[in-house]
Chain A
Amino acid sequence: MTDVIGPETLVGGSSAMVGADRQLLHPSESPSRRFLRRFTANKAAVIAAAYLVVLALIAILAPWIAPRDPNAQDLANVMAGPFDGGVMGTDQLGRDVLSRMILASRIAVVAVLQAVAVGLALGVVPGLVAGYFGGRVDRLIMRVNDAIMSFPPLILAIAIVGVLGASLTNAMVAIGIVFAPTFLRLVRASVLSVREETFIAAARATGTPSHRIVRRHVLPNVLSPLLVQISLTSGFAMLAEASLSFLGLGVQPPESSWGSMLANGFRVMESQPWLVVFPGAAIGLTVLAFNVLGDGARDAIGREVRSE
């Protein structure tokens, strides 16, 4: 620290630079770099992100890394405990639990993606329209939105699945519909907060068409809160998928998801509790990871450094 004239020397070059100070020292730090710096400082969020990356890899590579055929029955070797027959034991039909868990992770990932995609498709555009145009359109959209939000989510999802027919895709479409209002509200609120900014007024004054203002100026500002919400919603979607599959309204045999494995294990829980523990723990950990990731991302985006 001699003759280098940098931001450090301007503020006095304190060696104990933390949080907000560092931000003052790096006025040119790009938002994405700041996000990355703050996010990586949160150990729990990094672990959650790593867990989800590993889960995604397992899901993609599932057919190749599953040690056995997940549907192959071995009736001579049923309900074996962990390490007796396969790492996680076998189920009532002698099927390898580890292989089934691995294949089920693929179902979980696909299911979450489907639900989030449906939720975004139904929530983002109406949210943008309601927030940007306001007035009567806004009131109408919000009325409908409030009505959908007043349905108990799982009950509405069950009703929709009941009408469409039980299948994983129908279940995830139903869950997507149920979660769309959350996205809609969030997008609308973010649009309202940027709508009155000077740069939007400037764009409008120069005659930029609405759809371009929304796409070029409004949408990027909505993106970061939306990403946080996507993470949190994924956790809920995961729980909802497991619930519906548990009830037999989601994934249909011979395919299985962690939820249906849980239902399956419940019947023989007394003699082989591991059949419940593995899928239950997988659901719990994944939901936890999505929540921690979402919270971490929210804190990292926040304008001021939060200690909570």
Chain B
Amino acid sequence: MLRMLWSRLLGVIPLLFIVTVIVFGLIFLVPGDPAVTLAGENATEERIDEVRSNLGLDDPVVVQYGRWVGDAVQGDFGTSLFSSAKVTDLVGGRFTTTIVLTAGALVFALAVGVPAGVLAASKRGSWVDRLVTLGATTGVALPSYFLAMLLILFLAIRNSWLPATGYVPFGDDPAEWAKSLVLPSIALGSSGAAVTARQLRSSLIDVFAQDYVRTARAKGMRSHTVVLKHALKNAAIPVVTVLGLQISFLLGGTVVIEQIFGIPGLGQLAITAVTEGDLPLIQGIVVVATLVVIGVNLIVDLMYGYLNPKVRAR
């Protein structure tokens, strides 16, 4: 298990190298002279020079990359072009909120998706199964922000059960904080729930056809013990894969969800950065979000080892 951890960690190094090259390379997509474009319209000569020196644009590309990545490794993504604050501080202040929202969505996805998938697979062909399949198909297709609007309309405006928008920091009032995260988490996690239910249903159906499940049933083991103790662990492998991929989509989805619910997270910061053309800030956000995805995928890889001992040997 430890050897597997090492080999996976080593594999991340070239991945990180390419990721940083791509993120650094974003500057070459800026149309025209980056300093002029990024300084904005009607910028003074001084402002353009300031942007140029902030980004170190006069140096050769390799030197620029080396300096950028060298700083980034130490957690320094430079200074915002507009607020003169450190990118790291701006991102750090928003990071936790987004992670909490993502985690909330993941919890919702699992809390709804797993029972739904198990029920549908156990009662295959019944009305429960059809209902779950229909719900899952719809859940994947509905945009999260449309669902968010419907939730706001029915649960916050028509019936004021939950706050419509706004975010209460945990330190101010834990109860209100939790309440303010309910609707965003549901909206963001619904497609994850749909995907989980669908994937778990089909992989459980495969597992139910296996000999060891039949043996367990034949020797008189209770149905839910068979499902929970034997089938679920093996059926979980494809589900874990899908959840690993979901993290990527959830982090992207936070951008829209944070905008709708007025949650001050990374996504909202990303929109500000993009509308202002704040390149260092954009780069910082992309790198941090990608690191989270890479980290989660590493954990997913290790979970395969736990779920399926055969993987460990490789």
Q: A residues touching B (Cβ–Cβ < 8 Å)?
A: 143-144, 146-148, 150-166, 235, 239, 242-243, 246-249, 262, 266, 269-270, 273, 276, 280, 283-285, 287-288, 291-292, 308
Contact = CB atoms under 8 A, between A and B. Distances in A.
Given A270-B157, A287-B141, A288-B137, A159 B274 contact: yes
Contact of A291 (B141, B247, B253): B141
Contacts of B138: 284, 288
B282 interface: yes
What class of interface size applies to chain B in its complex with A? 35 or more
A280 B252 contact: no
Nearest to A149: B248
B259 to A, nearest CB: 6
Contacts of A280: 142-143, 146, 149-150
User: Which of A154, A166, A248, A308 has most B Cβ within 10 Å?
Assistant: A154
A152 B285 CA distance: 11
A146 B293 CA distance: 12
**Secondary structure type dominating chain B contacts:** helix
Given A159-B286, A162-B273, A269 B141 contact: no
A203 B142 CA distance: 47
Given A150-B294, A161-B274, A291-B141, A143 B146 contact: no
Contacts of B271: 158, 247
Contacts of A161: 274
B217 to A, nearest CB: 22
Given A155-B270, A163-B29, A269-B152, A150 B15 contact: yes
B26 interface: yes
A247 B252 contact: no
Nearest to B250: A152
A264 to B, nearest CB: 12
B251 interface: yes
Contacts of A156: 286
B279 interface: yes
Contact of A160 (B26, B142, B153): B26
Task: Tell which of A163, A246, A285 has the most Cβ of chain B within 10 Å.
Answer: A163
- Residue among B27, B146, B202 with max Cβ neighbours from chain A (10 Å): B146
B31 interface: yes
A247 B258 CA distance: 11
A151 B274 contact: no
